[in-house]
């Protein structure tokens, strides 16, 4: 077998090797079809089964109530930054939002094109290294919804409790944490996630949205940007990103086989705890986020010396531990340890860091 690396990319990110092997096996002919899934008509019975199974497995994994639509869309989270307000910012033309990083900011900037955005809290003062304290009085009822980013890929923070939004619909960008731990879909009005972190290849975006909100969205927006267009057509109003959905489906099957999201959460907790424990005890490295808001998926860390950081990233790459460079706005390093990063990948990273630390005492 070809040599694989441990890929700590923030996204697109590593996929389970079992999924890749299965897709490789079926590359010239999927089952008895005589063709690759990407050559299949999306109107064929064979492809209908692939997308139906993917949706059913995702519903099972996240325990999604029937009162929610599950949509496979295109355009990434960035497209949701306009689709969400176009469909949902309709009555008050105002929303509340929490600013916890670059993606929150982009979502806020885009929503401002469609109405008023009340930023109730921000952690920008400390390079987004924490989740701001939120209180019920921030969320006045004169808003169409509240927007948050559940896990902040760049800064390595995550919400550990629900914002006290009262009766307001809660909308979350879960691109970098969906399927990583158990949560209650019913706590949200709409959840969106680009696939390229915990789901599958870039090019498919999953939207889980309350059916009543889909029904009540305005009719005069562009056809492709209306959730109802896609909900009414089982995500096949036009040709969906068929292959990306197929790979996502394989990831769902693989996760079910592993025991589902609860089991994955245990593994993720263990992986993250191991890495944070090392960082907290290191004399050379330190995590940039402290306390309860630490992400289980994205772990930024620094040595405090930019040149040494650079050396670490370069040496790690030589050792087969790749994409560890941090985002320029935080600097240093970042290890993204999504569902598909094996425990052994985290162990190898820690062993390498210990070795590097010993060398640079």
Task: With contacts defined by CB under 8 A, name the span among 14-22, 180-188, 256-264, 291-299 that binds a second copy.
Answer: 14-22
Q: Which residues of 115-125 are buried (b: 16+ CB within 10 A; e: fewer)?
A: eebebbbbbee
Task: With contacts defined by CB under 8 A, name the span among 31-39, 133-141, 160-168, 280-288 that binds a second copy.
Answer: 31-39
Lay out the site mask for a second copy across 179-218 (x = CB under 8 A, - = otherwise): ---------------x-x---xxxxx--------------
Q: Which is nearer to a second copy, 50 or 131 (CB)?
A: 50
Tell the smallest beta-carbon distance from residue 254 to a second copy (Å).
15
The answer to whether the CB of 147 falls within 8 A of the CB of 96 is yes
Q: Which of 158, 197, 253, 271 is catalytic?
A: 197
Q: How far apart are CA 242 and CA 37, in angstroms?
A: 7
Q: How far apart are CA 288 and CA 301, in angstroms?
A: 5
Structure tokens at 147: 């927007």
Tell the smallest beta-carbon distance from residue 102 to a second copy (Å).
12
Q: How far apart are CA 151 and CA 293, in angstroms?
A: 9
Strands 94-99 and 146-149: parallel
| Residue 7 sits in the site that holds a second copy (CB under 8 A) | yes
* Strand segments (E) across 1-152: 6-7, 68-73, 94-99, 116-122, 146-149, 151-152
348 marked among binding-site residues: no
Tell the smallest beta-carbon distance from residue 134 to a second copy (Å).
27
Q: How far apart are CA 88 and CA 95, in angstroms?
A: 10
Query: Can 173 be counted among the known catalytic residues?
Result: yes
43 marked among binding-site residues: yes
Exposed/middle/buried for 201, CB within 10 Å: 0-12, 13-18, 19+?
A: middle
| Residue 297 sits in the site that holds a second copy (CB under 8 A) | no
Q: Which is nearer to a second copy, 121 or 322 (CB)?
A: 322
| Residue 70 sits in the site that holds a second copy (CB under 8 A) | no
Element of type H or E holding 209 = strand 205-210
Backbone angles phi, psi at 88, to 5 degrees: -115, -20
Give SS3 for 324: coil
Size of the site for a second copy (CB under 8 A): 66
**Residue in 44, 63, 67, 135 binding a second copy, rule: CB under 8 A:** 44
Closest CA to 12 of 279, 289, 338, 326: 338
Tell the smallest beta-carbon distance from residue 358 to a second copy (Å).
26
**Residue in 182, 322, 350, 354 binding a second copy, rule: CB under 8 A:** 322
Task: With contacts defined by CB under 8 A, name the span among 28-36, 159-167, 254-262, 353-361 that binds a second copy.
Answer: 28-36
Binding site for pyridoxal 5'-phosphate: residue ranges? Answer: 77-78, 103, 153, 173, 196, 238-239
Active site residues: 103, 173, 197
**Sites of contact with a second copy (CB under 8 A):** 1-5, 7, 9-15, 17, 20-21, 23-24, 27-29, 33-36, 38-42, 44, 74-79, 81-82, 86, 110, 113, 194, 196, 200-204, 220, 222-225, 237-244, 247, 320, 322-323
């Amino acid at each position: 077998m070809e040599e694989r690396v441990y890929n700590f990319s923030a996204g697109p990110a590593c996929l389970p090797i079992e999924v890749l092997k299965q897709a490789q096996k079926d590359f010239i002919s999927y089952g008895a079809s005589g063709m690759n899934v990407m050559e299949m008509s999306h109107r064929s019975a064979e492809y209908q089964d692939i997308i139906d199974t993917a949706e059913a497995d995702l519903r099972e994994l996240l325990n999604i109530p029937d009162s929610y639509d599950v949509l496979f869309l295109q355009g990434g989270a960035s497209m949701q930054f306009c689709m969400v307000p176009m469909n949902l910012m309709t009555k008050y033309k105002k929303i509340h939002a929490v600013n916890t990083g670059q993606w929150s900011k982009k979502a806020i900037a885009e929503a401002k094109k469609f109405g008023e955005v009340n930023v109730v809290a921000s952690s920008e003062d400390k390079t987004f290294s924490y989740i701001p304290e939120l209180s019920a009085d921030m969320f006045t009822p004169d808003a169409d919804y509240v927007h948050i980013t559940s896990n902040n890929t760049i800064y390595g923070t995550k919400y550990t409790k629900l914002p006290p939004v009262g009766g307001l619909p809660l909308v979350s960008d879960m691109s970098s944490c969906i399927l990583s731990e158990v949560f209650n879909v019913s706590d949200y009005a709409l959840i969106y996630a680009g696939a390229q972190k915990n789901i599958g290849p870039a090019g498919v975006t999953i939207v889980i949205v309350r059916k009543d909100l889909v029904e009540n969205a305005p009719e005069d927006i562009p056809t492709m940007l209306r959730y109802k267009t896609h909900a009414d057509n089982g995500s096949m109003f036009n040709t969906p990103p068929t292959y990306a959905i197929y790979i996502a489906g394989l990831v769902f099957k693989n996760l079910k086989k592993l025991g589902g999201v609860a089991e994955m959460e245990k593994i993720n907790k263990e992986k993250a705890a191991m890495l944070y424990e090392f960082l907290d005890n290191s004399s050379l490295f330190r995590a940039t986020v402290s306390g309860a808001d630490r992400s289980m998926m994205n772990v930024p860390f620094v040595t405090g010396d930019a040149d040494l950081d650079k050396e670490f990233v370069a040496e790690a790459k030589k050792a087969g531990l790749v994409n560890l460079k941090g985002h320029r706005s935080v600097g240093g390093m970042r290890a993204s340890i999504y569902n598909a990063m094996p425990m052994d990948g985290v162990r190898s990273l820690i062993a390498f860091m210990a070795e590097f630390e010993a060398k640079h005492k």
